[in-house]
Amino acid sequence: MRLDEPLAGLVPAADLSAWAAGQRAQGRSIVMTNGVYDLIHDGHLKSLVAAAEQGDVLLVAVNSDRSVGELKGPDRPVLGEAARSDLLRALRVVDAVTIFDDLSVLPTILQVRPEVIAKGGQYTEDEIVGSQEAAGWGGRAVRLPMVDSVSTTELLRRIRAKS
């Protein structure tokens, strides 16, 4: 990838329904995954590749700075939402990114109504947010293979231990 190549699209929350309708009008199935993506590491990349293989278009929903702070504590995120979304948008495997401010991704899932909701193998199908709702519109939840990698929390612990 060259630095002058365009990044994947950043879809504002208000435009998600129209974006999804446009994808479907072109015959594309939407795969959606979500997370904080603070200090992107190999585990994130492997999961994103596995998610993208589940359909035609991969939409990554990224927690806002505010929601990360509430969920993970005052020291997080390390990188702001703009940086985190830009890093994801630079990955060829990612087709679009949106930032969500809710503590749960469910409202975003309900806007998009993806054919596939993809999450890491550490979650059971019942724990995947939106799985029951997706089944109601003919979608499905997919547990991605477990990735042998360190978490961002563990990376931060190691960095702080060396400081």
Query: If you count them, how many residues does the chain have?
Result: 163
Q: Quick one: pLDDT at residue 5?
A: 61
Residue 149 domain flag:
yes
- CA atoms of 39 and 89, how far apart (whole Å): 14
Residue 1 domain flag:
no
| Predicted confidence (pLDDT) per residue in 111-144, tens digit | 999 999 999 888 888 899 999 999 999 999 999 9
Q: Quick one: pLDDT at residue 33?
A: 98
CA dihedral 66, 67, 73, 78 (to 10 degrees): -70
Nearest alpha-carbon partner for 129 in 45, 63, 69, 75 = 63
Domains: count for the chain:
1
Q: Quick one: pLDDT at residue 149?
A: 64
Residue 56 domain flag:
yes
Write out the DSSP string of 106-148: HHHHHHH--SEEEE-TTS-GGGSTTHHHHHHTT-EEEEPPP--
Residue 3 domain flag:
no
Residue 94 domain flag:
yes
CB 113 within 8 A of CB 139: yes
Q: Quick one: pLDDT at residue 105?
A: 98
Structure tokens at 26: 């072109």
pLDDT at residue 30 is higher than 70: yes
Residue 155 belongs to domain spanning: 9-162
| Predicted confidence (pLDDT) per residue in 38-88, tens digit | 988 888 999 999 999 999 999 999 999 999 999 999 989 999 999 999 999
Residue 2 domain flag:
no
CB 48 within 8 A of CB 58: yes
Q: What is the pTM of this model?
A: 0.90
Apex 69 CA angle, 62 and 107, nearest 5: 45
| Predicted confidence (pLDDT) per residue in 7-27, tens digit | 789 999 999 999 999 999 999
CATH of the domain at 106: 3.40.50.620
- CA atoms of 89 and 71, how far apart (whole Å): 23
**Which has more pLDDT, 150 or 48?**
48
Q: What confidence category does residue 146 fall into, taking pLDDT thresholds of 50, 70 and 90?
A: confident
Mean pLDDT of 30-41: 94
Q: Quick one: pLDDT at residue 161?
A: 81
Q: Which of 41-45, 59-63, 97-101, 150-154 has the lowest mean pLDDT?
A: 150-154
Give one word for 31, left, alpha or beta, with left for phi > 0 and alpha for psi -120 to 50: beta
Local structure of residue 56 (DSSP, 8 states): S
